[in-house]
A and B are shown apart, each in its own frame.
Chain A
Amino acid sequence: MIARWFHRRGWSDLVIGLPYVWLLIFFLLPFLIVVGMSFATRTSTAPPFGFGGENPLVNLAGYARLFSDTLYIRAFVTSLTNAAGAMVLCLLIGYPMALGLTRVDRGWRNILLMLVILPFWTSFLLRVYAWMGLMGSNSWFNKVLTGAWNWLVPQAWDVANVPLMHSNFAVVLVMVYTYLPFMILPLYANLERLDPTLDEAAMDLGARPFAVFRDVTLPQSIPGIIAGGMLVFIPAAGELVIPTLVGDSSAPMIGRVISDEFSSARDWPMAAAVAVALLILMVGPMMIYSRFEARAQARERSE
């Protein structure tokens, strides 16, 4: 009986149903609770929120505070500018690296690609930590930077050490460091597929190397640039670990604000409202990314 059910349709129901139900319970339901929570009212009960009863059913106070309290606006601006800065720097460093990878010969290329991926497999936290060691005011790296700075600028601007730690610059730098592979890999995959005869044709027609790059290579690599850019921007905007460890705590990023509202201030409805606002902001980049991904996949399948 069960065997017959299993062979007829049971197995396919299970293959679809089990992961479906799992994600509905452990991903969608918690998410919907957070969305609902953003309309709740903060109370001093445990758990610290009220919903209906003596409290209003829909309380928009959290969303109103997003626009009236400068803390939230500043945090959003800091997050978006840091993420955008990291994305642009990743592109400026990652593009020549990806292009360079397509120019080295096969045997070396596999080794170098592995070296790009290797840091990704090692601990994220420890890669951030490695920079904490470099940026501290007594480190050799900071001394080198300080020396270079004092040598370059007039004596009046001399500093004892470069204030790297606990700044937005440090956050962007470490983000570039940790997310650079996300930029290089899609770019490399894109650039590797380009037809080299197009370059040669342009060259034969007398174009200089830079003109070949600008008019032939660059336009064809836009899908790679967008995929890499979004893969850096999306996680960077919601980053929590990096700003907590090397960031400026007086100008927090939005991830830190959500976490603080929730844990320290115990204002769950506010934390939920900020989280929903962050997601709404991320919808644009996410849609750009998935549209380009779908198009790239469709092209791959047609090839």
Chain B
Amino acid sequence: MKRSNTFLLTMLGFGFAFFYVPILSMIVYSFNGSRLATVWGGFSTKWYGTLLSNAQIGKALWLSLEIALLSSTIATILGTMAGIALARFTKFRGRTLFSGLVTAPLIMPEVITGISSLIFFILLGQYLGWPAARGFTTVTLAHITFSMVFVTTIVQSRMLSADRSIEEAAMDLGARPWQVLRDVTLPVISPAILSGWLLAFTISMDDVVITNFTTGPGTTTLPILIWSKVKLGVTPDINALATLIVLTVGLCVLAAGVMMNRAERRAERDRRLAYRANE
């Protein structure tokens, strides 16, 4: 037992080194004074200066945030509806097709989703005159479509594991189905809705492939800007940008994790106190 544990813990160590060495190396090289991205030329913060004076990056970041906020909010509304529909309405016409439509975007290769959306928007523009050009609207529509199904998955699995007796109690007390949904079900699944929204937001902020196909001239999101630079090779200012993004996201996720951990521990303590009070 002892020896196998040593092996497993060593593998864990190697695994985490594998996860974090590339990121740490990128962070270290963002402070590289040399213009050559991979040759060390002394400590310097000049690439951060270059970055801050680059107005293009600020604009792209702002556009990405706008698209992510809008698309993740609409995706959360639609995705939550779909999750509720699949978890609570076991019989309606076309349910099989519906559940297929909800899983298919999860496993569809991004290239195919991207190209089919692009062809769709081009043909729409050709025959209906709308959208006249590709840009903010088409990117947002595409993002809503492929991120809403992630929300659905989260909401649906939360609904299936939720305790239905509270809903039944509300029903017995004379609440209408819609009131039960609004006043009982929605508050119960609100953590799932929130994590669905966060996931949809992250997916939208991070997407390259689908955005690349559905965007048009003048609509450059941050990932598209990075993508067009990175295709040409490693540059020190991208190292600096990557460092800022990784550190920001990392700190947010860590803070959220610590907060959730603490809330969980508090809930655990409350539960124990409640048990003791009952004894």
Interface CB pairs A-B, < 8 A, 16: A7-B176, A23-B148, A26-B117, A27-B104, A31-B116, A33-B119, A47-B119, A93-B14, A96-B7, A104-B9, A119-B19, A125-B227, A128-B230, A136-B234, A138-B36, A275-B116
Selected from A11, A12, A24, A47, the residue in CB contact (under 8 A) with B126 is A47
The reply on B18 being an interface residue by CB < 8 A is yes
- List residues 5-19 of chain A with CB under 8 A from any CB of chain B: 6-7, 11-12, 14-16, 18-19
6 shortest interchain CB distances as A-B pairs: A238-B109, A100-B8, A30-B120, A96-B11, A19-B82, A30-B116
The reply on B261 being an interface residue by CB < 8 A is yes
Which residues in B have their C-beta under 8 angstroms from that of A94?
Answer: 15
The reply on B94 being an interface residue by CB < 8 A is yes
Which residues in B have their C-beta under 8 angstroms from that of A129?
Answer: 26, 226, 230, 234, 238, 242
Given A27-B145, A240-B209, A290 and B103 contact (CB-CB distance below 8 Å): yes
B interface bracket (residues with beta carbon within 8 Å of A): 35 or more
Which residues in A have their C-beta under 8 angstroms from that of B36?
Answer: 138
Given A15-B84, A138-B39, A34 and B112 contact (CB-CB distance below 8 Å): yes
A19 touching B112 by the CB < 8 A rule?
no
**What residues of chain B have their CB less than 8 Å away from a CB belonging to chain A?**
1, 3-5, 7-9, 11-12, 14-16, 18-23, 25-26, 29, 36-40, 78-79, 81-82, 84-85, 89, 92, 94, 98, 101-105, 107-112, 115-117, 119-120, 122-123, 126, 141-142, 144-146, 148-149, 152, 157, 160-161, 176-178, 181, 202, 205-206, 208-209, 223, 226-227, 230-231, 233-234, 238-239, 242, 245-246, 249-250, 253-254, 257, 261
A130 touching B231 by the CB < 8 A rule?
no
Selected from A24, A117, A127, the residue in CB contact (under 8 A) with B23 is A127
Considering only CB atoms and an 8 Å cut-off, how many residues of chain A contact the other chain?
92
The CA-CA distance from A6 to B177 in the complex, in Å, is 11
The CA-CA distance from A262 to B38 in the complex, in Å, is 35
The reply on A112 being an interface residue by CB < 8 A is yes
The CA-CA distance from A209 to B253 in the complex, in Å, is 37
A123 touching B231 by the CB < 8 A rule?
no
Which residues in B have their C-beta under 8 angstroms from that of A22?
Answer: 78, 144-145, 148
The reply on A81 being an interface residue by CB < 8 A is no
- List residues 140-177 of chain A with CB under 8 A from any CB of chain B: 140-141, 177
The CA-CA distance from A57 to B44 in the complex, in Å, is 64
Given A132-B234, A138-B38, A271 and B92 contact (CB-CB distance below 8 Å): no
The CA-CA distance from A139 to B32 in the complex, in Å, is 13
The reply on A121 being an interface residue by CB < 8 A is yes
B25 touching A123 by the CB < 8 A rule?
no
Residue of B nearest to A22 (CB): B78
A275 touching B115 by the CB < 8 A rule?
yes
Selected from A99, A139, A268, A278, the residue in CB contact (under 8 A) with B112 is A278
Which residues in A have their C-beta under 8 angstroms from that of B101?
Answer: 20, 23-24, 27-28
Selected from A12, A116, A126, the residue in CB contact (under 8 A) with B89 is A12
Which residues in A have their C-beta under 8 angstroms from that of B98?
Answer: 16, 20, 23
The CA-CA distance from A11 to B109 in the complex, in Å, is 34
A23-51: contact bitstring with B at CB < 8 Å (1 yes, 0 no)? 11011111101100100000000010000
A34 touching B25 by the CB < 8 A rule?
no
